[in-house]
Amino acid sequence: MKKIVAFAGSTSSTSINKQLATHAASKLNSLAYDVLDLNNYEVPIYSEDVEKNNEYPKGASEFNTALDSYDGFIISLAEHNGSYTAAFKNLFDWVSRKNKEVFRNKPVLVMATSPGARGGASVLTSAKATFPHMGANVVASYSLPQFYENFKDEEIQHDGLKSQLEEAVSEFEKSI
């Protein structure tokens, strides 16, 4: 059976994006999945000097190895000041030093959520524009606005938003 991985672009222990990524993965019909936590992949702040003077960080190496073992990716991105979180960007900067095709030219469902009405729209737009340059085959995207109003009891409450997620997951699953 093919297997995908879901994770959030966040290190928050209460990440709403991790909840969304996990929820989306649970909707898969024919694929197995794992959920990763970025907290398990510690790396120093990326800089050329650190890279030249030290070995490749263990956390980046482990994450890179993990990415190799999956057939696709469900990623829900937290938005900090309209962009990726520092932890997510830093880990991906390190990973790209060993493999510029971070996403291995595999299918990606990219998502975002936030407590606000825009649902992480800025970071989602950025990801859709930049992830293909990192080897992502972005096959679907999804935004969940007003997380705390729209996601309760581990389920999306709004029928239209629920249908949109089901469509995105279906498109992703067909691409694997």
What confidence tens digit (pLDDT) does each residue in 27-38 have? 999 999 999 999
* Domains of the chain, CATH where assigned: 3-175 (3.40.50.360)
Alpha helix stretches (DSSP H) within the chain: 16-26, 48-53, 58-68, 86-98, 121-130, 147-150, 159-175
- The SS3 of residue 141 is strand
pLDDT score, position 138: 98
Confidence of residue 54 (pLDDT cuts 50, 70, 90): confident
Least confident of 46-60, 82-96, 126-140: 46-60
* Per-residue pLDDT tens digits for 96-106: 999 999 999 99
Residue 164 has pLDDT above 90, yes or no: yes
Q: What is the pTM of this model?
A: 0.96
Report the distance separating Cα 175 and Cα 26, nearest Å: 17
pLDDT at 55: 83
